Every structure is written in structure tokens, then in C-alpha cells.
Amino acid sequence: MLLAKQAAKTRAGTRFSAWLLASIALLITAVLVGTMIGPAGPQWWRVPLELANRLPLISIDSGVTSEQWNIVWQIRMPRVVLAALVGAMLSVAGASYQGVFRNPLVDPYLLGVAAGAGLGATVVFSLKRQTTQNWLIDPLPLAAFAGALIAVLATYLVGTAFGKTRSSTTLVLAGIAVTSLATAVQTFVLQRNNDVVRQVYSWILGRLSSATWSDVRLILPYIVFSSTVLLMHRRLLDVMRVGDDEATALGTNIRRVRLVVVLAATFGTAAAVAVSGLIGFVGIIVPHTVRLLAGASYRRVLPLSILLGAAFLVAADIPSRVLADPAETPIGVVTAFFGAPFFLLLLRAKKTQT
Amino acid sequence: MSTLGFCDLTISYDGVCAVKSFNDILHSGEWLCLIGPNGAGKSSVLRAAAGLVEYSGSVAIDQKEIPTTSARWRAQNIAFVPQTPLMPDDMSVVEYVLLGRNPYIKHFASESARDVEVVEKIFKRLDLEQFSNRMVGTLSGGERQRAVIARALAQEAPVLLLDEPTAALDIGHQQQALELVDNLRREQGLTVVSAMHDLTLAGLYADRLVLMHQGLCVASGNAQSVLRSEILAEFYGVSARVHHEPDGTVVVIPQRSTIN
């Protein structure tokens, strides 16, 4: 009996390792393809050769000129890395939010991150954008980041002030109220500044096109910190799956866990939104795909969401560059356009399987 | 050795009193059963002991007041089985039972070899081994109940609180579940407080019965003294015959009001 159990246990273990390896392979493939494809630059097959050439101890003549290499390294690479960071962050934040609120439909924008960031960005676009974008530090990501954090802080204050009970419903409702308020203010500001509607709209649809290494450096610490904190809570998120009362009776301080997880997820999401705009859908579709493939335990969902979320957004960014070449298709459109049918197919396959 | 004491326990929800001045004291190995009609306050007493509701008065384990203790300490000392546990369908039974080890695992650590060992022992004891890798959602009512009890036992707590442990079970599984709890309290000296609706079973297994009505304790003692037809008529509004078996078992038999 014990042997059978151990065998089954290792079977689950190997399945998880298999998914882990597959996700890593997928991510590497996506990154490679992402650096190989794009307007201008060297022929696609020369890029991996040159990348290998840049590794220590390896010397290959790839025939890539230094100008072409600049396109790869200064334009494509930061964009790919940024897509990976943002995708990983939105996915792991979405999964964590779904865990602490025990609601599968929740996304990382739940508590007002999106509306707050949108308002912050709108304000910057409306105030002499011509001069501000040439400032030493572009105020756009900072305003979006600050807007997101202020909105979530307001949600938290309102939600905990009126919600005496342990339930998280008041917090979610407060998030909806703050979102509506911020959206109303944003609409008002836009009404008075008709000329920036287009810019704000394209920001809201999300974009990675103007990514630079400095964007990567800007958000990397936040995203590493947030994801680490969330990953550390993966076992506790499993405990929370049995409900607030039972998790408390099992010895978990659910308020503290919820606060820390929400803060970490919000912090990381706000950083991601600040440089990429609002890329929808990733935070819902990736965690659910992982659940369907590898099971619902957060010990598997969180690490796999990070890897697959990164791979998904890097991959989604490729058609967004190529589809309407030379114009950019907003990445939010691509994630929804390809993500939704894929997700439906997956649901269907899972249904026929069981 | 654990003593569970209730002193002048009063619980109200939004100004409405659910439990008024409940007093009792239980020693190691005792089984107290709370009976009474729906809404009498049985679950509230259990939830107060589990640290899940605010109350006035005192509930203490070995003189330690419940609200002054940490959630972790409580979970190491009190295992609570709610009336309708929330069981994630896509969690395997072994994962579910391992949740009971949560109070012994450091915040960011994972289960140790000892935790797995404890759970394996419990699986053997409850004959759950063949279910260990099944998903909780695929279990039958009786199997689910066994999984919940297994999780509670994994807490290795000296006090076990059961809120209607047999409500969803057939007569055979009811007996099985209660026999199991009874054996465990004899072997390990568990202190058991349960809320139950089946009066015959309550009288059969518990050392003492406490009859609650509208938040008040209206009768307490052994089955013979509490399960009397005039008491049941007054507080349950039921017309029932009470039959005494030669071995001391008290059987409550509901009666039809009109006999054709």
C-alpha cells in the first residue's frame, strides 16, 4: 500500500517536473523566435548564431554587422525581456489574486490597479505631453505606477473601514467602486482634452513597442521582489482553498496572508502596467491553462504561471509586430484574439477527456 | 491532559443573542454532545471554542483563553470539523489531509518527513490508503466525511469539535464514523464536543448530553435524564416515545399525531 502511494506520489512529481521543463523550453523558444523576427535587422537564422557567438569561449562567424546587432540587442531584446517580465508578473499576480479571493474570475486589475494607472497616464498625456516626454525621467510610468498604488490603497482603506466581517467581498466591492470613480475622473479629463484620446486609447490597449533596457531596469526589482513573495506563499494559498473559517481553524492568519499577497501582487502589477499599459486577459488565461494542464495546487500553479506567462506574452508580441507591419497591433488585442479561442479549445479538450 | 472549560459564554450576532451563559467543563477523554432544535446555538458554542466568533465570558483550554492564543496554537490544540466543510474538488485526498499539518509547518516551509509519516498512519487507521490519490470531488459522502476526520486527526489536537458529523451519512456510515471517534477518544484521550440531531445516536455515544434551546442550556446529564418525552415535547415540539433498552440504551421514536 505504502509503496503504491509513494509510486503515485512520484508520478505526480514527475508530471510536474515534466511541465516545468516543457515551460522552460517554451520560454526559451519564444525568446529566440522573438529576437529573430522583426522589421529590418539581420536574416532570422543568423540571430541564434550571433547570440551563440556572444557567449564566452564560443566563436562563430554569423555574418551579422554591428548595426544589425544593435537592432537585435537594443530594440528587439529589451522588448522580449520586458514582455517576459510583464507576462510573468501578470500571470502570477492573477493566480495569487484568484487564490486569496477564491474566485476564478478575478484578474490582477481587480482592486483598481488598471483604473488608477489609466488615470495617472491620462493626466500625464493631458498636461503638456510634448515637453514632459523629453524630461530626463519620463513621468508617464511613474504617474501610472503612482495612480495604480493610490487606487488600490483607497480600495483597501474603504474596504477595511466598512467591512467588519472577515469576508473579502467588501474589498472586492470597494475595488469596483474605486474603479468606477477613477474611470469617471479619467473620462472627465479626456472630455476636456479631446486631442489626447488617441494616445490614451493606445496606452490602454497595452504596448511594448517602445521598450528599452531602462524600462527593464526600472521594473525588474519590483517584479523579482513581488514574484518571490508570492512564490513563498504558494503552500499557504493551498491552505486558503478550504475557506476563511477552516483555514483559520487550521492555524493560518488569513488576514495577514491576504494582505501580504494582495500587496505583493498589486505592487508587481502596478510596475508592469506602468511600462506596458493595460494588457488584459493574461492574468486570467495563463493561470487557468496551468490549472487545466498540471492541476490546481498553487505549488504547481504559481511557478508554472510565471514561466508560461512569460512565454505567452513573448509569443503574443510577435504577431503584434508582424500582423499589420509596419504598424503595431496592440498586444492586448493579440492576447485576446489568440488567447480566447485557445482557452476554449483547452476547456473542450479537458471536458471530453473526463 | 486537556481541560476544556466554558464559563458564562455569551455570543450575539448583531445584537441578537445566540448563546446565553453557557457553562460546562470537560476533561480528557470525555465526550459532550450538544443537542437541541435548529438555531439553538449548538454550532455557535463550537465556533467559539474554535476561535471563529467573538464572545463574552470565557472559553479556555487548560486555563488559556481562546482569543489570547495564536491561530497556530489553537490549531495544534483544537481540531474543528465544520458542518459543511469546503472541500476543493480538484485536491487529492492526501493533499487535503496534509492540510491538517499546517499548524506544525513554518510559514514558508513545506511538509517534513514527519508530517507525511503522521498522515500515513492516519490513512492506515481510517482505511483511506486506497483513496490517497483520488480527487476529493470524486469521493462519496461517507468517504468525504472520513477524509475530513482524517484531516482533523492530522492536527494531533487533544480536543476535537464535530459539528453534525453524521448529517450526510447513511446509518452504516453514521455508526462507522462515531465508532471511530469513540475508539480514538478511548485510545488517545481525545476530548470531544459534538453537535448532533440524531438523539438516539447522541445518547449512545456521548458521556453527557446538553440540551440547548434559544441559546440557553435547558437540560444536561446522561441520556436517561435528558432524553425524556416531556422534555423533548417542550423544546423540540415533537411527540415522541422514549424506549429504554435493557442495556441502558435510550431510543427516541417519533410518533404520528393521528393514528388511523
The pairing of beta strand B16-26 with beta strand B4-13: antiparallel
Q: What is the DSSP string of A169-224?
A: HHHHHHHHHHHHHHHHHHHHHHHH-GGGHHHHHHHHT---TT--HHHHHHHHHHHH
pLDDT of A10:
54
C-alpha cell at B155: 492536527
Average pLDDT over residues B43-63: 92
- Quote the minimal CA–CA distance from B71 to chain A in Å: 4
pLDDT of A84:
96
Which residues have a Cβ under 8 Å from the Cβ of B247 and sit 6 or more positions away?
none
Instruction: Using the structure block, give the residue that is written with the C-alpha cell 476543493.
Output: B88
User: Per-residue pLDDT for A133 more than 50?
Assistant: yes
Task: Verify whether the Cβ–Cβ distance B129 to A239 is below 8 Å.
Answer: no
Total structural domains within chain A: 1
Question: Environment class of residue A217 by beta-carbon count within 10 Å: exposed (0-12), middle (13-18) or buried (19+)?
Answer: exposed
pLDDT of A102:
85
Residues B204, B185: Cα–Cα separation, whole Å: 15
User: Per-residue pLDDT for A13 more than 70?
Assistant: no
pLDDT of B41:
92
Length of chain A equals: 354
Confidence of residue A335 (pLDDT cuts 50, 70, 90): confident
Does the CB of B103 have a partner CB in chain A at under 8 Å?
A: yes
Q: Which CATH number is B4-254's, of 3.40.109.10, 3.40.50.300, 3.20.20.10, 3.40.30.10?
A: 3.40.50.300
pLDDT of A206:
78
User: Per-residue pLDDT for A273 more than 80?
Assistant: yes
Length of chain B equals: 260
pLDDT of A220:
94
What pLDDT, in 10s, does the model give residues B93-150?
999 999 999 999 988 888 889 999 999 999 988 888 888 889 999 998 888 988 999 9
Confidence of residue A127 (pLDDT cuts 50, 70, 90): confident
Tell me the three state secondary structure of residue B20. Answer: strand
pLDDT of A65:
83
Q: Where are the domains of chain B?
A: 4-254
The pairing of beta strand B78-81 with beta strand B159-163: parallel
Confidence of residue A1 (pLDDT cuts 50, 70, 90): very low
Report the residue from A242, A248, A252 with minimal CB separation from B86: A242
Cis bond upstream, residue A39 (ω within 30): no
User: Per-residue pLDDT for A166 more than 80?
Assistant: no
Residues A132, B175: Cα–Cα separation, whole Å: 76
Q: Does the residue A187 lie in any domain? A: yes
Average pLDDT over residues A45-59: 82
Query: Helix, strand, coil: what percent of chain A each, to 5?
Result: 75, 0, 25
Query: Helix, strand, coil: what percent of chain B each, to 5?
Result: 40, 30, 35
Host domain of residue A259 = 40-353
Does the CB of B158 have a partner CB in chain A at under 8 Å?
A: no
Q: Please list every residue in chain B whose beta carbon sits closer than 8 Å to the beta carbon of residue A235.
A: 105, 108-110
C-alpha cell at A38: 522583426
Strands (E), chain A: none
pLDDT of A9:
55
Q: Please list every residue in chain A whose beta carbon sits closer than 8 Å to the beta carbon of residue B99.
A: 238-239, 242, 250
Average pLDDT over residues B1-10: 88
Model confidence, pTM: 0.87
Other Cβ atoms within 10 Å of A252 Cβ, number: 24
Q: Please list every residue in chain B whose beta carbon sits closer than 8 Å to the beta carbon of residue A242.
A: 85-88, 99
Report the residue from B47, B76, B95 with minimal CB separation from A297: B95
Report the residue from A8, A9, A243 with minimal CB separation from B86: A243
Of A254, A233, A226, residue with least CA distance to A93 = A226
Which chain B residue has its CA at the smallest distance from A254's CA?
Answer: B71
Task: Verify whether the Cβ–Cβ distance B155 to A245 is below 8 Å.
Answer: no
What pLDDT, in 10s, does the model give residues B58-85?
999 988 999 899 999 999 999 999 988 9
For residue A247, the domain's CATH number is: 1.10.3470.10
Which residues have a Cβ under 8 Å from the Cβ of A255 and sit 6 or more positions away?
A166
Residues A23, A311: Cα–Cα separation, whole Å: 8
Q: What percent of chain B has pLDDT over 70?
A: 98
Which chain B residue has its CA at the smallest distance from A296's CA?
Answer: B90
Average pLDDT over residues A78-102: 93
Range in A96-110, A170-184, A334-348, B154-168 with the lowest mean pLDDT: A334-348
Average pLDDT over residues B34-58: 93
Surface of B (185-244) touching A: CB under 8 A: none
- Quote the minimal CA–CA distance from B170 to chain A in Å: 25
Q: Does the residue A18 lie in any domain? A: no
Which residues have a Cβ under 8 Å from the Cβ of B24 and sit 6 or more positions away?
B5, B6, B32, B210, B217, B220
What pLDDT, in 10s, does the model give residues A195-254?
888 888 888 877 787 788 988 998 999 999 999 999 999 999 999 999 989 999 999 998
User: Per-residue pLDDT for A138 more than 90?
Assistant: no
pLDDT of A203:
82
Confidence of residue A7 (pLDDT cuts 50, 70, 90): very low
Residues A214, A16: Cα–Cα separation, whole Å: 35
- Quote the minimal CA–CA distance from B80 to chain A in Å: 7
Q: Does the residue A5 lie in any domain? A: no
What is the residue-averaged pLDDT of chain B?
A: 90
Confidence of residue B260 (pLDDT cuts 50, 70, 90): low
A211 Rama class: left (phi>0) / alpha (psi -120 to 50) / beta: beta
* CA–centroid distance for B78 within its chain: 11
Which chain B residue has its CA at the smallest distance from A295's CA?
Answer: B90
- Give A342 or B147, the one with higher predicted confidence: B147
Q: Which of A103, A167, A240, A250 to mutate to test the interface with B (most CBs of B within 10 A)?
A: A250
User: Per-residue pLDDT for A31 more than 90?
Assistant: yes
Q: Please list every residue in chain B whose beta carbon sits closer than 8 Å to the beta carbon of residue A291.
A: 90
Q: What percent of chain B has pLDDT over 90?
A: 63
Confidence of residue A37 (pLDDT cuts 50, 70, 90): confident
Report the residue from B71, B80, B155 with minimal CB separation from A253: B71
Query: Which strands sit side by side in the sheet containing B56-61, from one edge to the other?
Result: B16-26, B4-13, B56-61, B64-65
Residues B27, B24: Cα–Cα separation, whole Å: 10
pLDDT of A354:
46
